[in-house]
Amino acid sequence: MQTVKSASELGALHTRLNAARDPKRPLVTVCGGTGCQASGCMKVAEAVRDTLGGDPKLAGKIDFRVTGCHGFCERGPLVVVHPQGIFYQQVRPEDVDEIVRLSVVQGKPVERLLYRDEVSGKTFTRENEVPFYKNQQRLIFGMNGQIDPRSIDDYIAIGGYQALAKVLTQMKPEQVIDQIKKSGLRGRGGGGFPTGIKWETCRRAEGIRKFVICNADEGDPGAFMDRSLIEGNPHSVLEGMIIGAFAIGAREGWVYIRKEYPLACDVLRNAMAQAREYGFLGKGILGTAFDFDVRIRRGAGAFVCGESTALMASLEGRVGEPRAKYVHTVEKGLWNFPSNLNNVETWANVPLIINKGVEWYARIGTGDVTGDAWGGSKGTKIFSLVGKIRNTGLVEVPMGISLRQIIYDIGGGVPDGKRFKAVQTGGAVGGLHT
């Protein structure tokens, strides 16, 4: 692959790659997220590959893709047969032959592998009909099912890096910051600080070097949203970081990621190498004068390192001890240079805002952020829904949704006819509601 040297070259590449993805062409996807891997999805994927490859009538005619997390981890391994979109759950390798014979060849569903709703007793054929998915709004996470996370071409085919091209060729840094401010995007790591204001403060701070940092030290018990985003769509996070770096005036980026997430580390490393090869990272990105590159540091298992000042100390190769925060890290952060730290999910929202526009984005969510960044919170949020609930997994919902909707409409309520007692929100330091 040659470097992509301009926005128009990227446009041509997108057109070519997208044309190759005929939506009518048969395609089998297997979820390869960590949750499904724990349920044995790689053996299912192997069986699909062998079955498709071993039949001369099918070989080369059926596409096959291992994707990132679909979110419905409880029901893994998950297999989807396209173009019909037939959704299979709890698939075992021995089921694959039947899936290929019936669904791939004849387009018919294998009834016993379909999702059956325990409450209503109904079965559902398509992924988007299942109550767990139907009541979500999967703007960020939905892309996971469409791409192979190890393929930058897949990401480009669905419009990836277009937001970066737009920003680099049509916008000034201040305009990007203005858009992010108006979008009503707030930090997804838990603090909920308005992202645009943070970027603006860091841009205005003085420093001969500046950094953007991605906090992927997701350590709150029960949370695995960031892991699944990096594992399923690493380029969306990178694209967000590159755009942020341009807006802030940073040339160097860091991703601080837990070593306990080996698959995510590996997928991200692969994505960074591809982005460098295509010229989205490095010198003269997309033929412009903008230089930026990202490095990874693996966290070594310290819960406190999710805190920004401790994280930066750890990035410097020291013990991750937080410092007093009267000096903000956007002014004096990593090695005392202005540093803008955002969470994985926050970065992943950035390309979406640039692509779809502020008006579109600000229609999703709650409150009113015109004139007051704290007046509301826009966009969607990914939550991990776990514990004693019928449907567990990752859910993406608009900001402002009620807990009742999440727990009952999406989660299916408390299992075994038990009474609802309490819900903990926001991780270890969050609240307990009864």
Partner 1 sequence: MLQVTIPIEKVDGIIGAWGGRREALIDILQDIQDVARYLPRPALEHLSKELAVPLGEIYHIATFYKAFSIEPKGKYVVQVCLGTACHVRGGRLLADRISHDLAVKPGKTTGDRLVTLETVGCVGACALGPIVTVNGEISGKMTQPKLVSMMKKWRG
Q: Decide if residue 51 touches partner 1 (CB under 8 A).
A: no
Q: How far is the CB of 8 from partner 1 (least distance, A)?
A: 37
Q: Decide if residue 426 touches partner 1 (CB under 8 A).
A: no
Q: Binding partner 1 by CB under 8 A: which of 218, 239, 307, 345?
A: 218
Stretch of 53-61, 199-207, 214-222, 284-292 contacting partner 1, by CB under 8 A: 214-222
Whole-angstrom Cα distance, residue 269 to residue 122? 42
Q: Binding partner 1 by CB under 8 A: which of 10, 31, 34, 77?
A: 34
Q: Decide if residue 273 touches partner 1 (CB under 8 A).
A: no
Q: Binding partner 1 by CB under 8 A: which of 26, 32, 35, 306?
A: 35
Q: Decide if residue 20 touches partner 1 (CB under 8 A).
A: no
Instruction: Rank residues 286 and 334 by Cβ distance to partner 1 and give the closer one.
Output: 334
Whole-angstrom Cα distance, residue 239 to residue 168? 12
The beta-carbon contacts of 98-107 under 8 Å, at least 24 apart in sequence, are: 99/28, 99/48, 100/28, 100/48, 100/51, 100/52, 100/55, 100/58, 104/26, 104/28, 104/52, 104/58, 104/62, 105/58
Q: Decide if residue 302 touches partner 1 (CB under 8 A).
A: yes
Q: Decide if residue 105 touches partner 1 (CB under 8 A).
A: no
Q: Considering CB under 8 A, how many residues would be counted as binding partner 1? A: 43
Given a contact cutoff of 8 angstroms between Cβ atoms, the answer to whether 233 and 67 are in contact is no
Whole-angstrom Cα distance, residue 306 to residue 213? 12
Q: Binding partner 1 by CB under 8 A: which of 9, 55, 63, 74?
A: 74
Least Cα distance to 11 among 386, 354, 286 occurs for 286
Which residue intervals of 205-258 are DSSP H helices? 225-232, 234-248
CB proximity list for 326: less than 8 A, separation 6 or greater = none
Instruction: Rank residues 74 and 148 by Cβ distance to partner 1 and give the closer one.
Output: 74
Q: Which of residues 369-408 bind partner 1 (CB under 8 A)?
A: 384, 386-388, 392-394
Q: Decide if residue 310 touches partner 1 (CB under 8 A).
A: no
Q: Decide if residue 221 touches partner 1 (CB under 8 A).
A: yes
Which residue intervals of 2-161 are DSSP H helices? 7-20, 34-38, 41-54, 96-98, 106, 131-134, 152-157
Residues that bind partner 1 (CB under 8 A): 34-35, 37-39, 73-74, 76, 218-224, 227, 259-262, 297-303, 314-320, 384, 386-388, 392-394, 424, 428
